[in-house]
Amino acid sequence: MPPTHRYTGLIDKYRDYLPIHDDTRIISLGEGNTPLIRLNNIPKLLKKDINVYVKYEGLNPTCSFKDRGMTMAITKAVEEGSRAVICASTGNTSASAAAYASRAGITAFVIIPDGKIALGKLAQAMMHGCVVMQIEGNFDAGMSLVKEVADHAPVTIVNSINPYRLQGQKTAAFEIIEELGKAPDYHCLPLGNAGNISAYWMGYSEFNQIGVVNQRPKMCAYQASGSAPFLRGHPVANPETIATAIRIGNPQSWDKAWAAQKESQGWFDEFSDDEILRSQKLLAEKEGIFCEPASAISIAGMMRDVTSGKIPEGSTIVCTLTGHGLKDPDTAIKQSAKPPLKIKAELNDVKAAIERNLKM
C-alpha cells in the first residue's frame, strides 16, 4: 500500500496563513486536527433544537489547546536563535512549553503558583525536565516576574503575549470552519488570560476577510465568579476558583478580548465553582467526554444561554474544551458521586453488583 497522507501538525497544514518561511525548522508534535464532536444527549436534556459541537482540545499532544500556540512560539524562538524560553503558568502553558522545548533541545523555565496547579500538569512539566520554579504567589505575580526577567536574561517569553502564540491558536477557528462548512453562530469558551478568545476571533476574522466564509460567530466567554475581572471591569487582586487553569486576575490580552466581545456582539458571563463542576460531570456522564474544570465552563455557559433563549433555537454552537479531564485527577475523584464498589472477588458478588447498577 502506498503511504496515505500523514498529518504533520498545524504549521505545515496552515503555513500559508502563518508567519513561517519555507526553510523554517518546524518544531511540532502533531498538534491540532482535534475532533469536533456533536453533542447528542445534552441538547435533548435542554429540550432545545440546537446544533452543539465541542472542539476537544484536550486531545492535543500535551492535552490542552496551548500546543497550537506553543508549536509556533517554540518554532520561532529557535529560528531566532533563542536557547531558552520562559513562561508563567497556571499549568497547561508550562506543560506545553516543557514538551516543545524538549523537542527543540532548548531549556524551558516555568513559573507556577505555589500549590495551585493541577497534578497532571505538574507531572508533565517535571517529566519533560524543564526548570520548574514554584513561587509564593499567584499566576499574575508570576506573569509580572516573567516580563521583568526577560529584560535581564537571555530567555524568550512564550506566554500568549508572544504574538506567535495567538497565530498558532487561531488555526482552531480554521479547523472549525472547514468541518462545518461555515462559521458557527455562537462560540463559547472559557476566559482566563484572554489569549484564546483573541486568537479565535483573529482566525474567524481572517477567514471571513478572505471570503472563505461570510459570517463570524458571536463570542461568548465565561469566567469563574471568584476570578472574573472581565465581569468586574477591572483586574481582581486575589482570584480564587477550583478551575485553577483560569485562576487569573490580571489578564494580559484585556483589550483584545473586549474587542472580540464588542465586534462579535457576544458577551461575558460568570459561573460559581459548583456550576463549573456540575457541567464537567454532566458532560462526562451524558456524552462520554472528559474535560478539565476550566473547560467545562463553556458547557455551563452554553446551557444557561440556550435555556434562557439568549442563544436561539436553530443555532449552531461550538464550545471549546480547552484541556483534558485527566489534567486534574484530584478534582475529578473528589466530586465523583460513585466511589468504586468494594466487593469480594467472587462471581456472585460481581453478578449482584451488575444487577443493582444496570441502567434501565
Q: Which is nearer to ligand AN7, 183 or 221 (CB)?
A: 221
Q: Is 298 one of the binding residues for ligand AN7 (CB under 6 A)?
A: no
157 binds ligand AN7 (CB under 6 A): no
Of 64, 102, 156, 171, which one interacts with ligand AN7 (CB under 6 A)?
Answer: 64
Nearer to ligand AN7, 48 or 200 (CB): 200
Site residues for ligand AN7, 309-328, by CB under 6 A, read 322-323
Pairing, β 36-38 against β 51-56: antiparallel
- Using the structure block, give the residue that is written with the C-alpha cell 435533548: 44
Binding mask 159-198 for ligand AN7 (x = CB under 6 A): -x-----------------------------xxxxxxx--
Which of 184, 325 has the CB closer to ligand AN7? Answer: 325
Q: Is 157 or 191 the residue whose CB approaches ligand AN7 more closely?
A: 191
| Closest CB 196 distance from ligand AN7, rounded Å | 3
User: What gap in Å lies between CA 295 and CA 318, rounded to an integer?
Assistant: 13
Give how many residues touch ligand AN7 by CB under 6 A: 21
β-bridge partners, 343: none
Cell readout for 25 is 525548522
Q: Applying CB under 6 A, which part among 27-35, 38-46, 87-95, 99-107 lies near ligand AN7?
A: 87-95
Q: Which residues of 189-220 are buried (b: 16+ CB within 10 A; e: fewer)?
A: bbbbbbbbbbbbbbbbbebbeeeebeebbbbb
Q: Where are the alpha helices (DSSP H) in 115-272?
A: 119-127, 139-149, 163-169, 171-180, 195-209, 229-232, 254-264
Spatial distance between the Cα atoms of 268 and 270, rounded to a whole number of angstroms: 7
Beta-ladder partners of 156:
85
Nearest approach in angstroms of CB 322 to ligand AN7 is 3
From 75-83, 85-93, 271-279, 329-337, give the range in contact with ligand AN7 by CB under 6 A: 85-93
Closer residue to ligand AN7 (CB): 305 or 328:
328
Nearer Cβ to ligand AN7, position 203 or 323? 323
Using the structure block, give the residue that is written with the C-alpha cell 435555556. Answer: 307
241 binds ligand AN7 (CB under 6 A): no
Find the binder of ligand AN7 among 62, 75, 89, 171 (CB under 6 A). Answer: 89
Q: Which of these segments, 72-80, 201-209, 261-269, 292-300, binds ligand AN7 (CB under 6 A)?
A: 292-300
Closer to ligand AN7 by CB, 295 or 315: give it.
Answer: 295
Among 246, 289, 299, 332, binds ligand AN7 (CB under 6 A): 246
Burial of 265 (0-12, 13-18, 19+ CB in 10 A): exposed
**How many DSSP H helices and E strands does the chain contain?**
15, 10
Helix axes 92-104 and 119-127, enclosed angle (nearest 10): 20
> Measured between alpha carbons, how far is 242 from 259 in angstroms, rounded to an integer?
28
Q: Which residues would be at the binding site for ligand AN7 (CB under 6 A)?
A: 64, 89-93, 160, 190-196, 245-246, 292, 294-295, 322-323
